[in-house]
Amino acid sequence: MSPDRPRQIRLNLNLQTAGRHDAAWKTLEDTAGLVTDVDYYISIAKLAEQGKFDAIFLADSLGSLGAESVRRPWRGLDPTVLLAAIARDTDRIGLVSTVHAIYGHPFGVARQLASLDHVSHGRAAWNIITSQNPPTLEALGLSGTLDHDPRYRKAEEFVTIVTRLWESLPPTAIVNDKPADLFIDKAKTNPVEYDGEFYSTHSVLPLPGGYAGRPVLFQAGASGHSRAFGARWADALFTGQRTKDLARRFSTQVKGLAASYGRDPDKLVVLPGLWVIVGSTEAEARQRKDALDAQLDADYLLDQLAERLGIAPAELELDAELPYGKLADGPGSSVLARHREQIVTEARDRRLTVRQLLFNNLSGGHRILIGTPEQIADNIIEWVDDGASDGFNINIDVQTEGLERFIDGVVVELQKRGRFRTDYEYDTFRENLGVA
Ligand SMILES: Cc1cc2nc3c(=O)[nH]c(=O)nc-3n(C[C@H](O)[C@H](O)[C@H](O)COP(=O)(O)O)c2cc1C
């Protein structure tokens, strides 16, 4: 990066079907077929590309219907298949697909993501996840979860095999020699001979591992194991801190770990989630949020909050603060315990009432920013300049109108201040993301 050029901000779009707000779908017409409407997703991706986003990201969960999928249009299409369709109607935007690294076999995943990279001409990324939520376990017929140690040993083997397979057929091995009837020279391949604790393979991938190099690696997780894993493998990390201090601590820690593994810490891009609600005035943005909130089922949200806190819903009074004395103390190591700790800390620090908590996206996890384009741009720049992030994984309240507001307002504001690209500089995602 040139010394005179201010640090560039990374923006990734978390593409959720109707939008991040749970009531978003109630504001749209014809939602029955939305989950499988490929043209609808393509239109969002094209818009994000016009806004010069680094990438679009499709989260995923392997498994049958979870609570979220029955309450609104949620997810359905296989993310890698959908991104392959999007690839053919876009040119420069990165395509981040979520695929488990503890289920299935690494050979299939290596081929699937290498294929996306070829189909998209070098724009594929793999969001490596290790989650084991109940619908996933049920769908796969598994009776129990794996603890962090074996889970990350398994993921380590999985990613080791995938990345080695991506190197197994170097383009130089395709000799394409017609007189000799020789297309691939096996002597020039790098077969993967791997026998591990969880996986074995003896194979060469039948295609080069990427269009120009290999797919970009993303990772999402929160535990200590996950941080160490991400710092070693990932080019970019999705994360969920809701305060600048926590985010700065996370970023400093993972970049320090990356450096300790001999990596350039600037090539580990940290992207906390950020849900934006944009208005031409702050009051208008708040009204927009209130109008959406009014369509939510407050009783359901109250039950959810109580469940997360581990108490009875009757213990919660809407216009009072949390009954701190009745809550279990201290963080635990499980995702749920960490989540509870985060909710309680934030509620206490900000003196939030139960009603405020219900509508503050504590269930979805990510921080919400409500305001004008200038206010949101200020906050984004402040986090990046204070070392809390390299950019954000942006959640849009209602598609596609919320994305238009974000691009016309916040993106344009960041561009005016010289902090965000006005065009893509390179062809591949790896280069555009600055992790080549
Ligand atoms: C920001 C963020 C995004 C995530 N996205 C997904 C996802 O799309 N699908 C999924 O199954 N798990 C997702 N996860 C869960 C992680 O893959 C991981 O399984 C979870 O954080 C528990 O692992 P840990 O205890 O090692 O942090 C996400 C986690 C974080 C922090």
- Assess contact for 267 and 435: CB atoms under 8 A: yes
Only one residue has tokens 């120009």, namely 212
- Assess contact for 93 and 56: CB atoms under 8 A: yes
pLDDT at 101: 97
Question: Which runs of consecutive H residues, i.e. helices, occur in 310-406?
Answer: 335-349, 354-358, 373-385, 401-406
pLDDT at 69: 84
CB of 221 closer than 6 angstroms to any ligand 1 atom: yes
Residue nearest to atom 3 of ligand 1 (CA): 220
**Residue 394, strand partner residues:** 13, 274
Helix (H) / strand (E) element for 26: namely none
Q: Which atom of ligand 1 is nearest to the CA of 226?
A: 26
Residue 89 has φ and ψ, to the nearest 5°, of -110, 10
Tokens read off for 301: 């949200």
Only one residue has tokens 């201290």, namely 330
- Assess contact for 257 and 227: CB atoms under 8 A: yes
Q: Which amino acid is at 182?
A: L
Tokens read off for 145: 């979860």
CB of 59 closer than 6 angstroms to any ligand 1 atom: yes
Only one residue has tokens 């800390």, namely 345
- Assess contact for 58 and 82: CB atoms under 8 A: yes
pLDDT at 221: 78
Rounded-to-integer distance, Cα 403 and Cα 124, Å: 22
pLDDT at 326: 86
Cis peptide before 189 (omega within 30 of 0): no
Rounded-to-integer distance, Cα 394 and Cα 19, Å: 11
**Residue 96, strand partner residues:** 57, 125
CB of 268 closer than 6 angstroms to any ligand 1 atom: no
Residues in the chain: 436
pLDDT at 331: 56
Q: How far is the CA of 180 from the centre of ligand 1 (A)?
A: 50
Compute the half-sphere exposure of residue 142: CA atoms within 13 Å on the CB side of its CA. Answer: 17
Domain boundaries, the chain: 10-166+192-282+365-432, 297-358
CB of 98 closer than 6 angstroms to any ligand 1 atom: yes
Rounded-to-integer distance, Cα 387 and Cα 351, Å: 27
Q: What is the pLDDT along the chain (436 residues), one digit of tens a residue?
A: 555 788 999 999 999 999 999 999 999 999 999 999 999 999 999 999 999 999 999 999 888 888 778 999 999 999 999 999 999 999 999 999 999 999 999 999 999 999 999 999 999 999 999 999 888 999 999 998 999 999 999 999 999 999 999 999 999 999 999 999 999 999 999 999 999 999 999 999 999 999 999 999 999 978 899 999 999 999 999 999 888 999 999 999 999 999 999 999 999 999 999 999 999 999 999 999 999 999 999 999 999 899 888 899 999 999 999 999 888 765 566 777 777 888 888 899 989 999 988 888 655 578 999 999 999 999 999 999 999 999 999 999 999 999 999 999 999 999 999 999 999 999 999 999 999 9
CB of 240 closer than 6 angstroms to any ligand 1 atom: yes
CATH superfamily of 10-166+192-282+365-432: Luciferase-like domain (3.20.20.30)
